[in-house]
Each structure stands twice: as structure tokens, then as C-alpha cells.
Amino acid sequence: MSVKSYKDKNGKKKYYCSVRYVNNAGQRVQHKKEGFSFSSEAKQYEKEFLEKINGSTDMSFKSLCEIYLKDCEARLKPTTYRGKKYLFYDKLIPFFKDTAIADITPAMIRSWQNNLLSHIPAYTQTYIKTCNNQLSALFNYSVKYYGLKTNPVHIAGTIGKKHSGRLDFWTISEYKKFMDSLDAAKPFRMAYELLFYTGMRSGEMLALTIADFDAASRTININKNFAHLDGKDYIMPPKTPKSKRVITLPEKVAQHLQEYISALYDPDPSERLFPMLNKYSLAKALKRTATAAGIKPIRVHDLRHSHASLLIELGFPPLLISERLGHENIETTLQIYSHLYPNKAEEVAAKLNEFL
């Protein structure tokens, strides 16, 4: 271990640290870091680097985050990893910073939680829960791999809600009013029609190829997900194993989709159906059209909720709705849409009452 000074290319005095250690393969290697303005900075970096290598709970919160995020990067989808990384650097690291992992107490966690809860403008309950879950996952990682005795988040308690309990959606009449006012190009019309009448996620819809549509059976095969990140297009596996599914289309929707495909120039079965669309353009056109039509603007994802609410109104059972939406289990469906079922419960009671 050593910290020494040197002159950079501009002749300015700088410091570097050099550390020798044995890596996971049993090899003796050297790590060198340059560019420090003060020797104290180089020594602090050297100290934290060794704590990382040795797996010490004396390492700073930020150091643990860096290790954890690097581990996650190799295991998560690019879009998931990017969201996680942003949350860590925006909501977690600024609060705990250089505090040693072993010194973070449940009381400190409570203070951080209170900051989230009192933030102005207020965060949604689902976002608050997500932040708390991410912090807990980090400490679980430290318990499992770095010898931390307990997870302080477990003691501090949970905050937020898994589901907001409030959904925005359009009724069938609102949807038709929206479509009557839509003056965008044909791909937009076809995309919104698919989203409303199938309940598929926008990423699933954007990933669809011509080969995924079977005109004879009027079905669409959902088997992948699309994302655009940092200028690159990604075709990824579906969100969950249950997201892989086959959706049967209403006859008119299938007819419209067949006409849309037939109008494409020299279509290739492996070609994406909507290469000209993305989540941003869909959201922008939706908001503009809804405002012009005099109906409440909703998110593109809320077309999925609109489909589910329509099926509930038509009396379809939760299990069928769960399978059509590609939920991992029926409990997810019931948790999200339970508030839409009260009237159905009254209908059941009324029917039973006829036998009394």
C-alpha cells in the first residue's frame, strides 16, 4: 500500500494510491488510482477499496451501493438496471453517503423514511414503497455476502403501498370518443386499438412482429418485450414467465390488423409491426387527442387498465382476466382491481337473495 505524489501533464502536483491484493482467482494483482488533489483523498480511497475487497461492514454506504449495483448490472435487464441505478444515486446515496454500513441504525432509516413521506410535492405511495424495498434489498445483500448481522430496514418497518388503490381508465364510450378524434397516422390507430382490446403492455405491443399474428385463429403470440434505451433498441424476454401468452382478438380487431399488415410495403414476417412508434410518441399523441376530445388524458399503460375494467364490467371471472393480462398469479389481478368488484359482490348477494 502506498500513496505518492506525481506531476500531471500540466505540471500540477497530484497524488495516487497503489494497492496489492489477492483476487477471487487467487492471483496477486495491483490496483492503481491516480488524479487525487490531496493525499488525504488518496488515502481515503485506498481505505475504502481495501474494505470493499475484504468485505468489511466498515465500508461506506456508497461503496456498498457500487458493489451491489455492479452485481445487479450483470443480472438485470438494461431498463430495470437503469431505473435501479437512478433511484440509488437520487434517493439513497445522497442521504447515507459516507456512513459505514455497520453504523447505519434503524433510527437513521426512519429519518430517511420520514424525508420521503414529507417530500413536497408528495411522492406516490407505490414509489415510496419501491424506494424502501430497494434500500432493504441492499442491506439483505450486505447480510448475505458481507457479514452484516441484521437488516436495519426490517426493524425500521415498511412504508408505502404495493398498489395505489386508484386506477385511471377509459370506459368504452370514452375510448370511442378518443378514436373518433384521433387524426394521427394509421399505425397509431392500430396500436391504440390493440392496447385497448387486448390489455397487452406497450412494450409487448411494440415488440410484436408480423409472424406473431395468426390471422386464421385471430390470435397474437406475446413472447417478447421492447425497450429503447440510450439510443439503442432492445428486444428482451417478457416481464415474467406468465407474460408469455396467446391472446385471441375480437373479429373486427383481427380484421383491422390484417388490413394494416397488408398495407405494409414488402412485409417481412420478422419485421416489427410498429417500428415507427415508441412509448413517448404514443403518450404524446394520446394526451393531445384526449384533450382535444374533451376526455381525461390517461397514460398509455392505463389502456391496459381500461381493458381489465371492461372485462370486469362484462362479468368475466378474475382468473380469465389474469391469464389474458399475463399476471404472474390471480392475487395480483385481485389486488390491482379489487375496488372494481364491489358492484359484482352486490349482484351475487341479490341473486342469492332470490332463493331465500
- Rounded to whole angstroms, the Cα distance separating 154 from 151 reads 6
At 193 the pLDDT is: 97
In DSSP terms, which residues pair with 32 in a beta bridge? 18
CB 308 within 8 A of CB 199: yes
Query: Which set of grid coordinates corresponds to residue 228?
Result: 429503447
- Tell me: pLDDT of 1 over 60: no
At 218 the pLDDT is: 96
The highest-level CATH class for domain 57-162 is mainly alpha
Per-domain boundaries in the chain: 1-54, 57-162, 172-346
Q: Work out the average pLDDT over 265-280.
A: 91
Q: Grade residue 165 by pLDDT with cuts at 50, 70 and 90.
A: low
- Tell me: pLDDT of 38 over 80: yes
At 53 the pLDDT is: 65
pLDDT cut 90: percent of the chain above it = 61
DSSP conformation class of 38: S
- Tell me: pLDDT of 341 over 70: no
Q: Grade residue 338 by pLDDT with cuts at 50, 70 and 90.
A: confident
- Tell me: pLDDT of 166 over 80: no
Q: Work out the average pLDDT over 317-335.
A: 89
Residues 6+ apart with CB under 8 A from 167: 302, 305, 309, 336, 337, 339, 340
- Tell me: pLDDT of 350 over 80: no
- Rounded to whole angstroms, the Cα distance separating 326 from 33 reads 49
Q: Work out the average pLDDT over 311-325.
A: 91
- Tell me: pLDDT of 35 over 60: yes
Query: Which set of grid coordinates corresponds to residue 355?
Result: 332463493
What is the tens place of the pLDDT at every residue in 210-269?
999 999 999 999 999 999 888 888 999 988 889 999 999 999 999 999 999 999 888 889
Q: What CATH number does the domain located at 172-346 have?
A: 1.10.443.10
- Rounded to whole angstroms, the Cα distance separating 83 from 87 reads 6
Higher pLDDT, 151 or 230: 151
- Alpha-carbon torsion, ordered 134, 135, 139, 144, to 10 deg: 0
- Rounded to whole angstroms, the Cα distance separating 39 from 15 reads 6
What is the tens place of the pLDDT at every residue in 44-91?
887 777 766 666 678 889 989 998 999 999 899 898 999 999 999 999
- Tell me: pLDDT of 181 over 60: yes
Q: How far is CA 4 from CA 88, 169, 285, 313, in A?
A: 33, 63, 59, 73
At 325 the pLDDT is: 95
- Rounded to whole angstroms, the Cα distance separating 21 from 311 reads 62
- Tell me: pLDDT of 280 over 70: yes
* Helix/strand/coil for 120: coil
What is the tens place of the pLDDT at every residue in 99-126?
999 999 999 999 999 999 999 999 999 9
